[in-house]
Amino acid sequence: MATILIIEDEPALCDLIALNVKMVGHQTITRPDGQDAEEILRRQAVDLIILDVMLPGEDGFALMERLRRFDVPVIFLTALGSTQDKVRGLGLGAEDYITKPFETIELIARINVVLRRSGHSSQEFCAGGVRVLLEEHKVYVAGQETELTLKEFELLEVFITNKNIALSREKILDLVWGYDYVGETRTVDVHVQRLRKKLHWEDHIKTVYKYGYRLEVPS
């Protein structure tokens, strides 16, 4: 679990980002501007900052310059999508630069990459009698090692990364098999059924009617 500071002045968007970040197991601190960002970083541990650029008062670029000394990774999330803005943001030391509008699943994936890179992402996942060692590609069910095929493990990893978030069959197909895969979404259903059976996760991998699937675990 990581603590993520979200600095975004659009209340609805800020709440949406925070909701989805919490759904995958992280804690959040939200602010509409960077006025007290330094004070927050001084008084508590923050693992990642999601930072808008167009903020009231001091903009995100200027704020980034002040916050660099705290050595906390930053992801810019902004409507400013020009190459010049991206180069400036990354040049200031940001780990990533995401432009609006964005897909929630993309944001979660980028967050996980940055947290993993900075050493704040857990490589072990436990739920429903299952223990997964992500780096070792090992899965234990009720203490016994269980063999998964490569695609089954990749599917499991996608569910873990996006736990409590509904994923469409098309999105799962893209993430596990690749955007150029020519098969049908029925492939997803077959692999989900196999994964449920092997992990005894009939009550954890939920079917989202006419959409896809969701791995439900306590946040």
- 98 versus 184: the higher-pLDDT residue is 98
Q: Which residues pair with 138 in a beta bridge?
A: 133
Measured between alpha carbons, how far is 197 from 185 in angstroms, rounded to an integer? 19
Measured between alpha carbons, how far is 69 from 35 in angstroms, rounded to an integer? 16
Quick check: 64 pLDDT over 80?
yes
Among 68-77, 124-133, 155-164, 182-191, the least confident range: 182-191
Quick check: 218 pLDDT over 90?
no
Q: What structural domains does the chain harbor?
A: 3-117 (3.40.50.2300), 124-215 (1.10.10.10)
User: What band does 185 get if pLDDT is binned at 50, 70 and 90?
Assistant: confident
Among 35-39, 123-127, 140-144, the least confident range: 123-127
**What are the backbone dihedrals phi and psi of residue 130, each rounded to the nearest 5 degrees, phi first?**
-115, 135
12, containing H or E segment: helix 11-23
Quick check: 219 pLDDT over 70?
no
Measured between alpha carbons, how far is 121 from 186 in angstroms, rounded to an integer? 32
Return the amino acid letter for 179.
Y
Q: In this structure, what token pair is assigned to residue 193?
A: 């059924």
What pLDDT is recorded for position 144? 94
Quick check: 181 pLDDT over 70?
no
Q: In this structure, what token pair is assigned to residue 190?
A: 């077959």
For the stretch 80-111, pLDDT in tens is: 999 999 999 999 999 999 999 998 888 998 99
For the stretch 153-179, pLDDT in tens is: 999 999 998 999 999 999 999 889 886
Work out the mean pLDDT of the chain and round it to a whole number: 92
Q: Tell me, what DSSP letter sits at residue 54?
A: S
**What are the backbone dihedrals phi and psi of residue 37, each rounded to the nearest 5 degrees, phi first?**
-60, -45
Q: Tell me, what DSSP letter sits at residue 27?
A: E
Q: In this structure, what token pair is assigned to residue 157?
A: 């990893």
Nearest to 219, CA basis, from 22, 16, 47: 22
| pTM for the model | 0.78
- DSSP H helix total and E strand total for the chain: 8, 12
The set of long-range contacts for 80-89, using a CB threshold of 8 Å and a minimum separation of 24, is 80/53, 80/54, 85/53, 88/61, 89/53, 89/60, 89/61, 89/64
